[in-house]
Structure 1
Amino acid sequence: MKTHPLNTLLLLCLLLAGSGCYHGEMANRQASRDLPPPVIREVPDDEILTEEEPEFNDMNMDMEIAPPQSAPPPPPPPPPGEVQEMVLREDRRMPPAEPENWNTEDYAHIQENEFQAVINHPLSTFSVDVDRASYANVRRFLRDNQWPVPGSVRIEEMINYFDYQYQPPQDGSPFSVHTEMVQCPWNTENQLLRIGLKGMEIPGSQIPASNLVFLLDVSGSMDMPNKLPLLKRAFGLLTQQLRPEDRVAIVVYAGASGLILPATPGDQKMTIMEALERLEAGGSTAGAAGIQLAYETARKNFVLKGNNRVILATDGDFNIGVSSDAALVKMIEKERSDGIFLSILGFGDGNYKDNKMEQLADHGNGNYAYIDNLLEAKKVLVNEFSSTLFTIAKDVKLQLEFNPAHVQSYRLVGYENRLLHDEDFNDDTKDAGEIGAGHSVTALYELVPTGASQTSASIDQLEFQSSQISEAAKNNPNWLSLKLRYKKPDEDKSRLLKFYAQPSGKSFAEASEDTRFTAAVAGFGMLLRHSEFAGTLTLDQVIDIARDAKGKDREGYRAEMIQLVELTRSLE
């Protein structure tokens, strides 16, 4: 058969056009592979608390809308067989979908505490913090061979992840207070002050009945192995700890919220476990609606003199309804006044919203942990069951007054988002941290002795008031006074305790194991943050200090920390 020259030319054009499209598509796909991975975001201070989201009736709706135009009638659909063939043909043309490479994790920006001159700022006031999420999250970064985002490294939470051998209270007080002052390991001219609080232990037979509401995120973002499947196993561990007098309800939320298990006695473990096993992930995330329903359920089953608590488990990605930090915090603050506490368990990565969950826990009279594996779930919900779920003191605040005759300047290590105004210490309306049964809380200060050569915190001679140190201060051997305020869980008026501290005269090598290990953890955190205050400290020194101070380490947590420092050294 003879081919017409024009037909041949048209055929060649079509082949060249198809080849160009194919090569262009392959080039685009290769370019998308070569894009750098997205960066995890650290949220600036001015984005942490945003304004409340406007309701629809607050919006300006005074606009003209053009009347709809009549559209021409659609063409008749092809026969069903032809439609199916078209779909199959189109599927064969489409390249296989590639997995998205994205990351939208958010962390609050941390402005590290600086040295304060005692002559100018004699008081240091802050709220205790028993959250422990930062350490487990940092561990997750390092095990993924990533250097942690600076905002994810909260040194006080890393320190308080570990238990210390503080003696419990003996005088009926809800907690005991311990101090030790020794030579600072990263600046030997300075002193390191350790303050330790130990909550009283509560025997199992004396733990009050619990009214618990499991508030579980089952949205589509939770459909990952380290999210909903791990969540179900973690809450299964918690269920095994329940007693017949305890009650558990389960509220879930995705595109909407719902009560899937009404208040159920703790000895009906099979019923609770079956409700957990039925959970599946899907839909968007109406977190605010779930929180409201959870608090309504907790109020309905409120136990007088009992432990009333909502336990929220989520990745923090609330994307419909009230989702701004400010609006969520306002809602939580309103609910906490009813005597219902809040615990938050974070799961997963990729879209993890650490900044949101930390704020909710801080404002909801609660605590916050990150669950990266089943061992961490066991630590938080089994080994530390009482301290996680049973509050023995709320609104716990510390205020230190430094003696200028002995202390030239000071720096609080960590607790940047727990600082209070000095006048907040005596204000019983100001919210502060909670301490659970058996909890230990530790804080570190680095102190520059008076007369030291460091002048970073010095000020000019005052012109209109005296900057001279009084004779009373010079004659007082104490370097500081420590005042502590707290409230019992069912009270609104605070109680006051007062202590004093002075140097032990010990070198750092002579300090207690707890002080030395605490310093190692703090030093590790400073090096992860590339802190300007780390002095001469190195990761090798952190490893040496931690090994020497590991102690009995029954659960192996301290040994694990040493392994993490060694892993970090390989990432430098």
Structure 2
Amino acid sequence: MVTEENGIPVMGVKISTIPSDQSTYSDAKGNFSLTITSRTKKINFLKTGYVTRTVNIKTLKFPVHIQLKSLSASDSAMVASGLGLEDVVVVGYGNHSREQIIGSAMATAPKMRTIKGRRLNNLKEQLTGLAGPSRGVIIQNNGYFEPSTESYAHEKENGFKATASAPFSTFSVDVDKASYSNVRRFIRDGHLPPTDAVRIEELINYFDYHYGNPQNSAPINIKTELSSAPWNPAHYLLQIGLQTKKVSADDLPPSNLVFLIDVSGSMASSNKLPLLVSSFKMLTDQLRDQDYVSIVTYAGMATDVLKPTNGSHKKAIKAALDQLVASGSTNGAGGLEKAYVMAEKHFRKNGNNRIILASDGDFNVGARSLSDLENLITEKRKSGIYLSVLGFGMGNYKDDKMELLADKGNGNYAYIDNSSEARRILLKEFGGTLFTAARDVKVQVQFNPALVKAYRLVGYENRALADEDFNRDTVDAAEMGNGSTVTALYEIIPQGVKDEFTPKIDTLRYVFSQLPKTGGGLHKELGLVSIRYKDPKSIKSKLLSHIVADNRTAFNNTSADFQLAAAAASWGMLLKNSPYKQKASYDLVAGLLKQPLAADKTSQVGELLDLVQTSQALKGNEVNENATGTRPPIFRPRPRPYPHPLPHPKTPLKRKKPMVMKILPVNGSRSINY
């Protein structure tokens, strides 16, 4: 049996004999079975996130009980900084991660070149060593490939709606941007993302837009722009932009923040807990004297690491972060409950009371059901304690759980794949992501059936609301932070344009229309954009409206904001292989980015162009593989010729000895019999 030092079973430990004759893996209870021969001298116990143990067979006591010590993030960093390239053996030429267990620690050599994943083409490559792209590096395949357990919620893509039967479109705003940085991580690692990982509205909203501050007492400004859709010039593209008023950091309310940090064993790799710690240190540097921070961690159990400490004691907060070590199982529900207790105990009236959960999403609910946990988060949200979520890591990342928790908690959701993203989220957008300017922000667009044949909201599939919910103040929607923006795009099929998308419905026999009664400008209106929102401390909503005139701008004369949003939407449709992408192409997206690139002062657009070109190359590789067929089968037996008649059925056949195929590894140490 294999357990942690506290007795919790460890699943997935690779147990192998030395010399390497036999190997197996521990089950969910930590149990394993292994055959020992006279040649066996030692037994090795290896698992990511734990110190490797090698036990001499002579010292074993039966029944065998092995305890593994968790590998701390600080140990990982210490080992990594001390390794040279000559010290590194990379186990497996796969896409597990860029850190591998080496000896007893997880490390990445500072000067080591990135090793891109590639396909193992035949049995020989699978059984023997491979030459790495870095000279002198041998890549050894251990025969075990841990599959990705990442999970993403599936949402059916929005289709076109006929305006004659459904003139209203209603949705909650979305200020999350996690999908973009997660997609970026996939592409930079040499893979196209899973289609469910691509949320087009989050790709669009990742970028900075300039819609202008509100000019009156309302906290939200509405701006629209109308042109042709670049992927189908016969269609229109409507951009709706919202921007909240920017308030100086000195004028923001005091904060009561609880850092809820996952320190379970799955957080040990360098792109998880070490990156998380450095990210929270960046946030700590933004704290003011009136802001308070508490730290709660969870692994096998939930722990209060830091009592409420104000922003003037930054060294104490950072010291508490530096002590965090990843080990153990994951009791996420217990950690969340303790964090809410902490937030309630030190609740700041008229302040910003918020829990910031940081995890890879491998979130066990413990004794509670998931619905119970959702109810807890919803209940606490109503009391004024919000939940924001920061995602880290890869391989076992649970995007669906992370997004759900943030949605229920009226908070933001971001995925942090590197220190630059942490800096952008927690420094540059500190006020916008953590301080609410408007609550329960809903958008409803009413299209004019005299001008609009059909329409489609691009993205926002998981933010859809019933039309009647727009006027119901009891229906929850998302928040907009201080100085934040939200962008939504509608593809519109105008009346008189033939298309393949408009739903086929019978013409209404009874129609109430006010257009003929007006002699004025209603017939020139494409639609009406309505916004409902609540002030941060109010329970009653307010209404804002904006008329969209049937006044299109030539696409080349549209703003850089419009062209950037159109490019991001086109790219998202290509990544999802959307049935609505029509004439969209990677070359088209690159062309759309020319004007935004010239106006870009943040290098965001340049990064997007690089990702577009890289994803085009990855898609090209995928197309080439599909065109030429998959890799050949490992064994391709030739058809057996029969030059002579088959023997008579009564003639006894001579039995041949069973064939034994021997495949010799490169070192020639032993054969493998099939």
TM-score by length of 2: 0.70
Letter in 1 for 2:496: G
The 3 A distance-change label for structure 1 pair 323 and 411 is: farther
1:482 — aligned with what? 529
CA distance in structure 2 between the partners assigned to 1:465 and 1:246 by the alignment? 61
CA distance in structure 2 between the partners assigned to 1:24 and 1:219 by the alignment? 31
**Structure 2 counterpart of 1:112, from 154, 157, 164:** 157
Q: Deviations over 1:79-112 (max 9, x none)?
A: xxxx966248999xxx997765221100000200
CA distance in structure 2 between the partners assigned to 1:24 and 1:472 by the alignment? 88
3-state SS, counterpart of residue 451 of structure 1: coil
**Structure 1 counterpart of 2:460, from 405, 415, 418:** 415
**Structure 1 counterpart of 2:354, from 309, 318, 338:** 309
**Structure 2 counterpart of 1:102, from 125, 142, 147:** 147
**Structure 1 counterpart of 2:211, from 151, 157, 166:** 166
Say whether 1:391 aligns with 2:436. yes
1:105-504 paired onto structure 2 within 5 Å: 105-319=150-364, 321-322=366-367, 325-454=370-499, 456-462=501-507, 465-466=510-511, 470-472=515-517, 476-504=523-551
Letter in 1 for 2:418: N
Contact 2:515 2:523 in 1 (8 A): no
Letter in 2 for 1:379: R
The 3 A distance-change label for structure 1 pair 418 and 25 is: same
1:78 — aligned with what? none
Once the two structures are TM-superposed, the CA of residue 550 in structure 1 deviates from its matched residue by 2.0
Q: Deviations over 1:223-274 (max 9, x none)?
A: 1110000000000000001111110000000011011100001110000000
**Structure 2 counterpart of 1:545, from 592, 599, 614:** 592
Contact 1:169 1:176 in 2 (8 A): yes
Contact 1:180 1:503 in 2 (8 A): no
Once the two structures are TM-superposed, the CA of residue 322 in structure 1 deviates from its matched residue by 4.8
**Structure 2 counterpart of 1:86, from 54, 58, 76:** 58
Letter in 1 for 2:439: K
Letter in 2 for 1:122: P
The 3 A distance-change label for structure 1 pair 462 and 476 is: closer
2:131 — aligned with what? none
Contact 1:404 1:469 in 2 (8 A): no
Contact 2:560 2:599 in 1 (8 A): no
Q: What runs of 5+ residues in structure 2 fail to find an aligned partner?
A: 1-16, 26-54, 65-139, 620-674
Once the two structures are TM-superposed, the CA of residue 401 in structure 1 deviates from its matched residue by 0.7
CA distance in structure 2 between the partners assigned to 1:109 and 1:85 by the alignment? 49
3-state SS, counterpart of residue 350 of structure 2: coil
The 3 A distance-change label for structure 1 pair 460 and 371 is: closer
Q: Deviations over 1:304-349 (max 9, x none)?
A: 1111110000011113505754333222111111101111000001
Contact 2:596 2:605 in 1 (8 A): no
Q: What runs of 5+ residues in structure 1 fail to find an aligned partner?
A: 1-20, 33-82
1:62 — aligned with what? none
Say whether 1:533 aligns with 2:573. no
CA distance in structure 2 between the partners assigned to 1:145 and 1:384 by the alignment? 29
CA distance in structure 2 between the partners assigned to 1:22 and 1:562 by the alignment? 50
CA distance in structure 2 between the partners assigned to 1:385 and 1:173 by the alignment? 22
Contact 1:216 1:250 in 2 (8 A): yes
Identity of aligned residues (%): 46
TM-score by length of 1: 0.83
Contact 2:393 2:417 in 1 (8 A): yes
3-state SS, counterpart of residue 543 of structure 2: strand
Letter in 1 for 2:459: G
CA distance in structure 1 between the partners assigned to 2:370 and 2:349 by the alignment? 31
The 3 A distance-change label for structure 1 pair 176 and 322 is: farther
Higher relative contact order (CA 8 A, sep 6+): 1
Once the two structures are TM-superposed, the CA of residue 569 in structure 1 deviates from its matched residue by 1.1
The 3 A distance-change label for structure 1 pair 172 and 487 is: same
Once the two structures are TM-superposed, the CA of residue 476 in structure 1 deviates from its matched residue by 2.2
The 3 A distance-change label for structure 1 pair 87 and 319 is: farther
Moved more, 461-470 or 407-416: 461-470
Contact 1:251 1:261 in 2 (8 A): yes
**Structure 1 counterpart of 2:552, from 479, 482, 505:** 505
The 3 A distance-change label for structure 1 pair 168 and 322 is: farther
Letter in 1 for 2:600: D
CA distance in structure 1 between the partners assigned to 2:141 and 2:200 by the alignment? 45
3-state SS, counterpart of residue 394 of structure 1: strand
Letter in 2 for 1:497: L
Letter in 2 for 1:513: A
CA distance in structure 2 between the partners assigned to 1:327 and 1:147 by the alignment? 35
**Structure 1 counterpart of 2:570, from 492, 517, 523:** 523
Higher helix share: 1
The 3 A distance-change label for structure 1 pair 86 and 111 is: same
3-state SS, counterpart of residue 114 of structure 1: coil
CA distance in structure 2 between the partners assigned to 1:455 and 1:554 by the alignment? 40
3-state SS, counterpart of residue 190 of structure 1: strand
Moved more, 199-208 or 518-527: 199-208
The 3 A distance-change label for structure 1 pair 324 and 186 is: farther
Contact 1:160 1:442 in 2 (8 A): yes
Q: Deviations over 1:475-510 (max 9, x none)?
A: 521110111100111111111111110233322111
3-state SS, counterpart of residue 447 of structure 1: strand
3-state SS, counterpart of residue 549 of structure 1: helix
CA distance in structure 2 between the partners assigned to 1:323 and 1:141 by the alignment? 33
> CA RMSD of the aligned region, Å?
2.6
Q: Deviations over 1:3-49 (max 9, x none)?
A: xxxxxxxxxxxxxxxxxx999968x99xx9xxxxxxxxxxxxxxxxx
The 3 A distance-change label for structure 1 pair 457 and 467 is: farther
3-state SS, counterpart of residue 294 of structure 2: strand
CA distance in structure 2 between the partners assigned to 1:198 and 1:24 by the alignment? 63
CA distance in structure 2 between the partners assigned to 1:416 and 1:472 by the alignment? 37
Q: Deviations over 1:343-398 (max 9, x none)?
A: 10000011100000101111111110000000000000001110011011110001
The 3 A distance-change label for structure 1 pair 416 and 456 is: same
Contact 2:443 2:532 in 1 (8 A): yes
CA distance in structure 2 between the partners assigned to 1:163 and 1:515 by the alignment? 12
Contact 1:346 1:369 in 2 (8 A): yes
2:69 — aligned with what? none
The 3 A distance-change label for structure 1 pair 111 and 472 is: farther
Q: Deviations over 1:135-158 (max 9, x none)?
A: 000000001111101111001111
3-state SS, counterpart of residue 610 of structure 2: helix
